[in-house]
């Protein structure tokens, strides 16, 4: 089959890791007889350099015309990168929020999984890890505080700033449906996280999630307050299957969960709209400090490409093959420096990409 893929290399280590993912996708094409055409899209620093703004209308159109978007990472050291040319209030956050909205990517899926081989990197003790953990955070991505009205005003010499957290029931319903659909393919448990003891938006959240749950009698629904969830992720991560939450809570909790695995360099993510279309990117950042050194871990991006094959292109067999290749390479003892351990074989970004491609 032929597919159009938009590539956003982005900032920092982005271009290096996207190159390895592309290498792996090329091998998938060769092995399974597909053809992917790639179109590059500028976002963040790369776009500011060329166009003076972090995202252009044209870039959005190119992304929309594709079957899926694969992204490296956005963000740079604000003091040295082109970001610095923009007013802080014009940055949020250099095109990321704008592209999420323009493509209607309301569902952000972030798996946080502990690889058996990488238990050593996990910051938690053996007895807390228990039998390991494997959760997915389903974060609402186009509503809430990030997209509410905001203003900064001065009155009688006193400056006041306001942000607004708004959710309507339709926005909540569609993300809840996504979470329950995903739970049906997993361990059938949804933990919906809110602050319903204080916030109106959280009380509506809880009500709508309960309505949606009625259509999924096989799924166990549990509500958890966000402060408690932040504790439970450290205390007993094994209790979670699907965590469903709003934008800001999801931002905080998904990063905490990534760090709890100890191997954020391994974690992929998908941001989906109502169709099969999605944007795929590693959970980690642009790591400007190691950009260009050839040591970045490309596995999160390669696994994001696998998610893309599965969710947007319906190529399940191919996605399985990529994931199996990653598993194989880990079992064989290859590691980039971020997950390096005694007795393992250290490799660079390109070598890691080669190792995966060879195993497909």
Ligand X SMILES: CC(C)[C@H](C(=O)O)[C@@H](O)C(=O)O
Phi–psi pair at 343, nearest 5 degrees:
85, -5
User: Which residues does residue 38 pair with via DSSP β-bridges, in sequence order?
Assistant: 5
- Tell me if 169 contacts a second copy by CB under 8 A: yes
Strands 35-40 and 150-155, by their bridges, are: unpaired
How many C-beta atoms lie closer than 10 Å to residue 143's C-beta?
22
* Residue window 210-239: x/- pattern of binding to a second copy, with contact defined by CB under 8 A: ----------------xxx-xxxxxx----
Task: Decide whether 158 or 275 has the Cβ nearer to a second copy.
Answer: 158
Task: Decide whether 19 or 145 has the Cβ nearer to a second copy.
Answer: 145
- Tell me if 64 contacts a second copy by CB under 8 A: no
Alpha helices in 33-78 (DSSP H): 45-51, 57-64
- Span of 2-10, 92-100, 296-304, 334-342 interacting with ligand X by CB under 6 A: 92-100
Residue nearest to ligand X (CB): 93
Give the closest residue to 338 by CA, choosing from 1, 98, 58, 17: 17
Residue 167's binding partner among ligand X, a second copy, none (Cβ under 5 to 8 angstroms by kind) is a second copy
Contacts 24+ apart (CB under 8 A), 35-38: 35/1, 35/2, 35/3, 36/2, 36/3, 36/4, 36/5, 37/2, 37/3, 37/4, 37/5, 38/4, 38/5, 38/6, 38/7
Distances (CA, A) of 19 to 4, 118, 296, 302, 347: 16, 24, 12, 10, 16
As a whole number of angstroms, the distance between CA 210 and CA 346 comes to 48
Task: Decide whether 27 or 91 has the Cβ nearer to ligand X.
Answer: 91
Residue from 96, 122, 138, 267 in contact with ligand X (CB under 6 A): 96
CB 268 within 8 A of CB 306: yes
Residue 146 annotated to the active site: yes
Task: Decide whether 26 or 134 has the Cβ nearer to a second copy.
Answer: 134
- Tell me if 198 contacts ligand X by CB under 6 A: yes
Binding residues: 100, 110, 139, 227, 251, 255, 285-297
- DSSP state at residue 118: G
Residue 258's binding partner among a second copy, ligand X, none (Cβ under 5 to 8 angstroms by kind) is a second copy
As a whole number of angstroms, the distance between CA 200 and CA 204 comes to 6
- Tell me if 91 contacts a second copy by CB under 8 A: yes
Residue 195 annotated to the active site: yes
Q: SS3 for 47?
A: helix
Smallest distance, a second copy to C-beta of residue 99, A? 14
Residue from 89, 197, 218, 275 in contact with ligand X (CB under 6 A): 197
Q: Which residues bind a second copy (CB under 8 A)?
A: 88-89, 91-93, 97, 122-125, 128, 145-146, 150-152, 158-170, 195-201, 203-205, 226-228, 230-235, 248-249, 251-256, 258-260, 264
Residues of the shown chain interacting with ligand X in the complex, contacts defined by CB under 6 A: 93, 96-97, 197-198, 227, 251
- Catalytic amino acids? 146, 195, 227, 251, 255
């Amino acid at each position: 089959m032929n597919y159009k893929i938009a590539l956003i290399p982005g900032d920092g280590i982005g271009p290096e890791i996207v190159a390895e993912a592309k290498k792996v996708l090329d091998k998938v094409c060769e092995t399974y007889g597909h053809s992917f055409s790639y179109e590059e899209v500028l976002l963040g620093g790369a776009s500011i350099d060329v166009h003076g703004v972090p995202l252009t209308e044209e870039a959005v159109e190119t992304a929309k015309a594709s079957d899926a978007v694969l992204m490296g990472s956005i963000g740079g050291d604000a003091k040295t990168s082109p970001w610095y040319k923009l007013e802080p209030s014009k940055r949020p956050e250099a095109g990321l929020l704008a592209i999420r909205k323009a493509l209607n990517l309301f569902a952000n899926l972030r798996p946080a999984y502990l690889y058996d081989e990488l238990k050593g990197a996990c910051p938690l003790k053996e007895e807390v890890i228990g039998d390991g953990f494997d959760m997915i955070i389903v974060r609402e991505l186009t509503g809430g505080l990030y997209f509410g009205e905001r203003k900064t005003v001065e009155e009688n010499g006193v400056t006041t700033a306001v942000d607004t957290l708004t959710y309507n029931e339709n926005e909540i319903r569609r993300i809840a449906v996504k979470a329950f659909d995903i739970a049906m393919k997993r361990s059938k448990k949804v933990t919906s996280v809110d602050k319903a003891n204080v916030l109106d938006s959280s009380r509506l959240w809880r009500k709508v999630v309960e309505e949606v749950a009625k259509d999924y009698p096989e799924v166990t629904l549990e509500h958890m307050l966000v402060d408690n969830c932040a504790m439970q992720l450290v205390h007993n991560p094994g209790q979670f299957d699907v965590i469903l939450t709003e934008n800001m809570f999801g931002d905080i909790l998904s990063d905490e969960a990534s760090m709890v695995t100890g191997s954020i360099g391994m974690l992929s993510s998908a941001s989906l709209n109502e169709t099969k279309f999605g944007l795929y990117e590693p959970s980690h950042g642009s790591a400007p400090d190691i950009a260009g050194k050839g040591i970045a871990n490309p596995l999160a991006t390669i696994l994001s490409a696998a998610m893309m094959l599965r969710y947007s292109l319906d190529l399940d067999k191919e996605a399985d093959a990529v994931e199996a290749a990653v598993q194989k390479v880990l079992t064989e003892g290859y590691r980039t420096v971020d997950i390096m351990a005694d007795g393992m074989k250290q490799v660079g970004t390109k070598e890691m990409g080669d190792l995966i491609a060879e195993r497909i």
